[in-house]
A and B are shown apart, each in its own frame.
Chain A
Amino acid sequence: MDVTVFLKAIPDPAGPPESFVFDNGRQDTSRVPFVLGPFEENALELSLRIIEGTGGSLRALAMGGPEQDKPLRTARALGAEAVLRVDGPSSWADPLVTARLLSAGADRLGRADLYIAGRQAGDWDRSVTGALVAGLRGLPYLCRVFDATAQDGEVRISQEVTGGVRTGTLRTSAVLSVTNAPTTVLRIPNVRAVLLATRKPVDIVHVGSLLGDTERVERLADDWVSPRRLGRAGRRVGGDPSDVAKALVAELEEQGALPGTGT
């Protein structure tokens, strides 16, 4: 079973607060390293498990500038036979254009049985790329997948659904989006494979050669992004239950949250 996985490097979400800086309505990424997004790590791991079980090939695809090369090299070090970067802005405002470009880029890598994305990008929190690609390509869409086991050429997929877990056998081409679970924690590549992957350049294709001008017209435009003012941090009240109750009542009275105590 051949797999194409969509990867994305994002500003490190675990970076120190001082690196989370906005300037003139845009995030200042000059002081923050880019890392493979957490859910894209999960997508890559699940992709590896599927090709190992079915004997297929893995291709990896990302879109953006040179900051996207590192995750593609990670994928190559872990076994991706082909990697491709669609050269363009790191973040298009319109996810439909992103999905069109990724879908067209995937075609450059050859037909795949499965197209796999992370559940959502860790920067814009949109959770739409996999679903859009499914809609564009007319393929079924399975989201929140957290496990895949391959046997006799078939893949059993487990996914989170409302109120439980759903497991079934995949018998058709599809788009999956992958969520975090112990089964999708990305393995660590060995050092030799990393060094070999670093020596080979990443193949690059330019957006203009994938889509015509009209297909790249965006209906959405970014205005600004700015940090949210966070509310006051919670306060832990411990000790004897009767003391806790008194402390909570006193706190609620102070805030005017009890009837007759407002100011």
Chain B
Amino acid sequence: MTAAAVVLLEEEVHGPAGAAAFAAALTIAGDDVRTLVIAGEEPVCDFPSLGVLEVGVLPRPGTDDGDTWFQAARELLCDAPPPVVVFAAGPLSEVVAARLAGALGFSPVVDVDTLEVQDGVLSIERSAFGGKASHRLRAVPTGVVLTVFGGGETLSSPPP
């Protein structure tokens, strides 16, 4: 088992992709998961989480196309990034996740539909060619950023 962090950008916390991100992190890392939530303002509700929950609040929320979201995610992760970082797929993570991967020197796999762990290696399916094809790839879980969709067969379970 390897460690993983679930990074949820506020809009994606309660959606199906958020649940899928937790399911993916559980599949990859078991108990060794921490949750990072980045919120646009002081949170007014509880966030779902696995493991230690850290909440980053943006100094100026919302309208800058992901730059402050990226800076906040990097700040929360840069000291000790886990080998696998999981985002819920969504408009914000599309902007933030791959840029964070570049900054960390990690390999991104976006829009994951299904995920399994086989002999310590991630086996991932996603769509390609405009949805006309399925693409399966293997990822060594040492320096990987994933964004996962909700609704995939192996990624539809909510956190316990």
Q: Which residues in A have some Cβ–Cβ distance to B below 8 Å?
A: 13, 20, 22, 27, 93-96, 99, 122-128, 131-136, 138, 140-143, 159, 161-162, 166, 218-228
Q: A123-B128, A225-B136, A228-B127 are in contact. Are A159 and B98 (CB under 8 A)?
A: no
A131, B95: Cβ atoms closer than 8 Å: yes
The answer to whether B18 has its CB under 8 Å from any CB of chain A is: no
- Which of B19-27, B29-37, B44-52, B59-67 lies at the binding interface? B59-67
B139 part of interface (Cβ distance < 8 Å):
yes
Given A131-B102, A132-B108, also A221-B138 (CB < 8 A): yes
> 7 extra interchain contacts, Cβ-Cβ under 8 A, other than A220-B144, A228-B127?
A122-B129, A128-B110, A132-B108, A221-B137, A222-B136, A228-B132, A228-B133
User: When the two chains form their complex, are residues B99 and A131 in contact, meaning their CB atoms are under 8 A apart?
Assistant: yes
CB-based closest 10 A-B pairs = A135-B102, A131-B98, A128-B98, A135-B103, A132-B102, A131-B99, A223-B136, A135-B99, A96-B107, A219-B107
A67–B140 Cα distance when bound, in Å, is 30
Answer whether A124 and B128 are a contact pair too, CB < 8 Å, given A161-B63, A219-B139: yes
Minimum CB distance partner of B108 in chain A: A128
Q: When the two chains form the complex, which single residue of B92, B99, B123 contacts A141, counting CB atoms closer than 8 Å?
A: B99
Pairwise interchain contact A228-B131, C-beta atoms closer than 8 A: yes
Is B14 at the interface (CB under 8 A from chain A)?
Answer: no
B134 CB within 8 Å of chain A: yes
Which residues of B lie under 8 Å from residue A133 when comparing CB positions?
102
B137 lies within 8 A of A96 (CB): no
Q: Interface of B with A (CB < 8 Å)? A: 11, 63, 65-67, 70, 91-92, 94-95, 97-111, 123, 127-140, 142-144
Known: A127-B98, A143-B65, A159-B65. A226 touches B133 (CB 8 A): yes
Task: Given A159-B65, A221-B138, A223-B123, decide whether A136 and B102 contact each other with a Cβ distance below 8 A.
Answer: yes
A93 to B12, CA, bound (A): 28
Does more than half of chain B's interface fall in helix, strand or loop, or is it mixed? mixed
The reply to whether A124 and B135 contact each other, CB–CB distance below 8 Å, is yes
**A157-B102 Cα distance, complex, nearest whole Å:** 23
A94→B138 contact, CB < 8 A: no
**A122 with B63, Cβ < 8 A, contacts A135-B98, A135-B103, A220-B139 known:** no
Q: Report which of B102, B111, B134, B136 forms a contact with A99, defined as CB distance below 8 A.
A: B102
Residues of A within 8 A of B70 (CB): 141
Q: How far is the CA of A256 from the CA of B67 in the complex (A)?
A: 49
Residue contact B134 to A225, C-beta cutoff 8 Å: yes
Tell me if B137 and A220 are in contact (CB < 8 A). yes
Closest B residue to A130 by beta carbon equals B98
Contact of A143 (CB < 8 Å), options: B94, B107, B109, B129: B94
Q: When the two chains form the complex, which single residue of B110, B132, B137 contacts A93, counting CB atoms closer than 8 Å? A: B137
Contacting pair B129 A13 (CB below 8 A): yes
Please pick, from A95, A138, A225, the residue contacting B133 in the complex, using a CB distance under 8 A: A225
Which residue in B123, B127, B130 is a CB contact (below 8 Å) of A13? B130
Which partner residue on chain B sits nearest A227 by CB separation?
B133
When distances are taken between beta carbons in the complex, the residues of chain B under 8 Å from A227 are 132-134
Complex-state Cα separation, A141 to B101, whole angstroms: 13
Cβ A219 vs Cβ B65 within 8 A: no
Say whether A222 contacts B137, CB under 8 Å: yes
Residue of A nearest to B125 (CB): A223
Whether A220 contacts B107 in the complex (CB less than 8 A), given A96-B101, A134-B102, comes out as yes
